Amino acid sequence: MSLNEASGNTITENPAGQVPNDGTGIVQLDPWLEPFKDGLRSRYAKAQQWLKTIDDTEGGLEKFTRGYEKLGFHVLDNGDVVYREWAPNALRAYLIGDFNNWDRDANPMTKNQYGVFEVTVPNKDGKPAIPHDSKIKISLVVPNDHARQERIPAWITRVTQDLSVSPVYDARFWNPPKEEKYVFKNKRPPKPASARIYEAHVGISSPEPKVATYKEFTRNILPRIKNLGYNVIQLMAIMEHAYYASFGYQINSFFAASSRYGFPDDLKELIDTAHGMGITILLDVVHSHASKNVLDGLNMFDGSDHQYFHEGAKGRHELWDSRLFNYGHHEVLRFLLSNLRFWMEEYQFDGFRFDGVTSMLYTHHGIGTGFSGGYHEYFGPGVDEEGVVYLMLANEMLHKLYPDIITIAEDVSGMPGLCVALSLGGVGFDYRLAMAVPDLYIKWLKEKEDIDWDMGGLVFTLTNRRHGEKTIAYAESHDQALVGDKTLLFWLCDAQMYTNMSVMSEETPVISRGIALHKMIRLITHGLGGEGYLNFEGNEFGHPEWLDFPREGNNNSYHYARRQFNLVDDHLLRYRFLNNFDSKMQWTEEKYGWLHSPQAYVSLKHEGDKVIVFERAGLLWIFNFHPQTSFTDYRVGVEQEGTYRIVLSTDSKDFGGHGHVDESTRFFTTPFAWNNRKNFLQVYIPARSAIVLALEHTL
C-alpha cells in the first residue's frame, strides 16, 4: 500500500479492494491501530455530522467559510457601510468612531435571533460616511452590570497601536480608494514536489535594531531566499498579536495583518512578489489559543467568558496564560474556518503551518505529559475530540477548495493519522514537523563528546517517522534560537564566535569543528530526515547569538531582535562559507529531488569509524563524523553500478573546508556485494566531512 503519491493522503492501491467509510481505512496502513477502531470511528462520525449540519444549515463548507463576507464591515455599491457582529450575550450595541465623534448613541445596532448585531451607516453624497483608515469601535451594553464597554470588532482587518500613548490597539476602517488597492499580478506557483522551507519573521529581518517592514522584506530578503534555493517561505507573527515579544503567538485580531510592519497592501505586495519568483508562501496560523486581552482581544467580548472560548478553567491555558477556543460551537467554527479562507483569498497565501497542534489534540494540552509513543495515548479521555474534529474540518475544507495547498502540523505527540486524509480517518495535514531531531542535536552538543556520538541513534532519530505520513525535518527552528537557548553554531563555537570568525585570524580547532559539524548536521538532516526541510532565517549562515525581543527584562532593546545579514556580505568573515554551502545543498536538492523520493536505504552505521552511508534519489551519501580519523580507500556499498562523481563536498574550500577531497575524482563500482548492496566503490573521506556522489551521466 503506497501513500507516497499525490498529496501523500490517498491510498493508491488497496489489496482488500475496498476502503471502509467509517474512518477506519487508516488501519490498513497501520495495523497497530486495530484496537482503537472505536476511537477512530467516533472522531470520524463527529466530523461527518458537522459536515452534514453545515450542508443542511449553511449550504455547505464553501459558503459557511465565507463568514468574512457577511460579518465585519462591508461597503455596498451605493456607498452605505454595513457592519455585523456576533455578540449573543450583549443586550445592546452601538457603532462609534471618528465618523460620529464617538457619540455612543448615534448609531444603534439591531440584534437578530442568532445574536448578530447589525447597523447600516448611510452614504454621504454616494461615498462612505466612515473615512478610510479612521478609528472605530463597537460599544456594547452587557448584562452583568449594564455598563458600557468598548471593543475592537472581532472581524476587523486592520488595527494599529500608538505605543507613545498606550499599548492598546485601535481598530481602523480599512477601505482604500479603488485606484490605491493592491492588484495581484502573479499566479500562485504550483505546489512544490519538494518543500524547502525558509521560516521567517518580517520584524527581525534587518541588521538594524528596529522592527523591519513588509517593504524591506520584499526588497532585501526575498532575493536572498530565492538565491539560497528555498521554494517555500513560512511567515511568522503576521496575524495581529498583542505583544511583540510573544513571537506572534498571542493573537488579538485574527483577520488583521500586523500593522507593525506596514500596511495590508504591503503584505500583499510581498506575497505577490514571492509568487513572481516561484516561491510558495505559508502563514504561521495560531488557532490553538488566543490572547486573553479584554480591551483589544476576543476575551469577554460580549461580556461572557464563553462566547468564543470554553468557560472557566477549561477555557484557559495554564502555561501560555491565554484563552482556549470552544471547537464544538457552530459560530466558533464559522469564525476559525472563515479565518483560514480569508487569508487564502484576501492575501493569496498558499497554505498554513498550524501552531500548537498538540494543545488542540489533547485535553491536557501536552502540559506535563511525556509521549512514549504508546497508541493508548492517542485515544481515550486525554484526547480533545472537538479539537481533532476541528482540524479534520479545516484540512478537508482547505484541500477541497485549494488542491495545491500545503498544511503543516506542529505536533510533539506523534498522533497517528495526522497526515492521512479524512476519508481514511486521518486528520488531513500534508506534513508534520519532526520535532525530535533538533532536540537530539542540542542534547548531544550539551552532553556528549564528539567521539561518543551514536551513529545508530542518529540514524534512528532521523528515520523514525510514520510510514506514508510526510515529515518536515529541521536541524533547528525558531525555538532553538530563542533567548535561553543557543543556535547550533553558537553551541559549537560560542567561545570564539566574536574573535575567530574572520578569515584574517587563524582557523582554530573550535572554529574548524563548528563549521564542519554545522554543515554535516544540516546535510544529514536534509538527506535522511524527511520529505521536506525547514531552516529558520539566519541559521543557514550560523547566525551568532540568540533571539530576544525588546521587553522589560532587556530594557526594551532590539539588539538581539534582528538578523545580521551584513555578516554574510562581509567577505572577510567565515559566515559566507556556511551560506554558500546551504545554497548549494538547496539547489542540489532541486536537481535530484531527494525530499520527494522514497526514504533512504541506510547501508552502514559504523560506531567505531563514526561513518554513515545511505542511498536516496540515486545519490550515494557518505558521512565521516570521526573527530580525528580520515579514511583512504574506504569501501562503501552501492546498489546501482556505474561511474560516480562528487556533487557536494562539505570539505570544499568554497564552504570553509580544507579542500582535501579532489572533487574531479571519478569513482568506478566493482560488482562485489558489500553491506547488502550489489556493488562497492572506494572513497577518501576526511575526518568531520561528508560527500554526496551521483552517477556521472546525471551531472
- 322 compared with 494, residue with greater pLDDT: 322
In whole angstroms, give the CA distance from residue 144 to residue 121. Answer: 29
In whole angstroms, give the CA distance from residue 586 to residue 595. Answer: 11
CA distances from 283 to 256, 344, 355, 566 (A): 13, 9, 10, 27
- Spacing of C-alpha 573 from chain mean position: 31
The confidence score (pLDDT) of residue 205 equals 97
In whole angstroms, give the CA distance from residue 669 to residue 639. Answer: 10
SS3 161: strand
Q: What is the pLDDT of residues 575-616, one digit of tens each?
A: 999 999 999 999 999 999 999 999 999 999 999 999 999 999
In whole angstroms, give the CA distance from residue 388 to residue 385. Answer: 5
The confidence score (pLDDT) of residue 8 equals 40
The confidence score (pLDDT) of residue 17 equals 62
The confidence score (pLDDT) of residue 397 equals 98
Q: What is the pLDDT of residues 21-44, one digit of tens each?
A: 999 999 999 999 999 999 999 999
Query: Grid coordinates in use for 134?
Result: 479612521
Question: How many CB atoms lie under 10 A from the CB of residue 415?
Answer: 26
Burial degree of 625 (CB within 10 A; 0-12, 13-18, 19+): buried
The mean predicted confidence, pLDDT, of the chain is: 94
CA distances from 429 to 60, 411, 432, 469, 690 (A): 21, 11, 7, 9, 33
β-sheet bridge partners, residue 93 = 140
548: pLDDT confidence band, cut at 50, 70 and 90? confident
The confidence score (pLDDT) of residue 494 equals 84
The confidence score (pLDDT) of residue 9 equals 44
Say if pTM beats, i.e. exceeds, 0.75: yes
- Percentage of residues in the chain having pLDDT higher than 70: 97
Query: Grid coordinates in use for 552?
Result: 522589560
76: pLDDT confidence band, cut at 50, 70 and 90? very high
> Which segment of 44-53, 253-262, 292-301, 369-378 scores lowest on mean pLDDT?
369-378
Q: Is the pLDDT of residue 522 over 90?
A: yes
Q: Which of 355, 540, 545, 615 is catalytic?
A: 355
Q: Is the pLDDT of residue 14 over 70?
A: no
Burial degree of 602 (CB within 10 A; 0-12, 13-18, 19+): buried
547: pLDDT confidence band, cut at 50, 70 and 90? confident
Spatial contact of 350 and 406, defined as CB atoms under 8 Å apart: yes
Secondary structure (H, E, C), 464-492:
CCCCCCCEEECCCCHHHHEECECCHHHHH
5: pLDDT confidence band, cut at 50, 70 and 90? very low
Q: Is 56 a catalytic residue?
A: no
SS3 84: strand
Q: Is 355 a catalytic residue?
A: yes
Q: Is the pLDDT of residue 2 over 50?
A: no
Q: Is the pLDDT of residue 180 over 70?
A: yes
Burial degree of 447 (CB within 10 A; 0-12, 13-18, 19+): exposed
293: pLDDT confidence band, cut at 50, 70 and 90? very high
- 479 compared with 73, residue with greater pLDDT: 73
Closest CA to 387 of 410, 362, 369, 408: 362
Q: Which of 410, 537, 545, 615 is catalytic?
A: 410
Query: Grid coordinates in use for 377?
Result: 495515548
Spatial contact of 230 and 522, defined as CB atoms under 8 Å apart: no
Spatial contact of 121 and 129, defined as CB atoms under 8 Å apart: yes
Query: Grid coordinates in use for 200?
Result: 521567517
Closest CA to 390 of 641, 54, 37: 54
Domain architecture of the chain: domains with CATH: 67-180 (2.60.40.10), 197-548+555-594 (3.20.20.80), 600-698 (2.60.40.1180)
What sign has the CA pseudo-torsion 139, 140, 141, 147? negative
